[in-house]
Amino acid sequence: MAVDPGASPAETKDLSGLTGLCAKPRERLPIRTRSSGVTQSAWRLEVSCDQGTGAIVVAEVSPRESYYRGEGVFLGWTQEELAAVHDALLRRSDEPPFELPQLG
């Protein structure tokens, strides 16, 4: 499994009713979906907290469409709740995004 080089462990005290959250770096993993006959990739964010452990798996189907699946303490959460926690746990860089200069 490949590790996302841009992600790093994130820690926070309270988020969506969970306390003592600690996230490991995201990992890339192969997945299969019912709608596709090919193997695709997804991101898995493993999380531990005072309430237990779990993970959020994100399958990016297109640039505008992503699906979230909760495991462990996140089992049964809605897509919106999973997306909010996933985004909050990813450490954002203060650096401006990488841009290629336009030539010509």
pLDDT tens figures, 46-95: 999 999 999 999 998 888 889 999 999 999 999 999 999 999 998 665 56
Q: What is the pTM of this model?
A: 0.73
- In sequence order, which residues have a C-beta less than 8 Å from that of residue 13 and are 6 or more positions away? 19, 20, 21
Is residue 7 included in any domain, yes or no? Answer: yes
* pLDDT for the residue 1: 45
**Structural domain containing residue 69:** 2-89
Domains in the chain, number: 1
Question: In the predicted model, what is the mean pLDDT of residues 11-31?
Answer: 84
Is residue 94 included in any domain, yes or no? Answer: no
7 has pLDDT over 70:
no
- Which residues, in sequence order, are bridge partners of residue 65? 62
Is residue 97 included in any domain, yes or no? Answer: no
- Return the SS3 of 44: strand
Q: How confident is the model at residue 8 (pLDDT cuts 50, 70, 90)?
A: very low
Is residue 64 included in any domain, yes or no? Answer: yes
* pLDDT for the residue 35: 77
Q: Indicate the range of 7-16, 38-47, 92-101 predicted with least confidence.
A: 7-16
Residue labelled with tokens 């992503």: 66
Is residue 102 included in any domain, yes or no? Answer: no
Q: How far is Cα 35 from Cα 77, in angstroms, rounded to an integer? A: 22
> Helix, strand, coil shares of the chain as percentages rounded to 5?
10, 45, 45
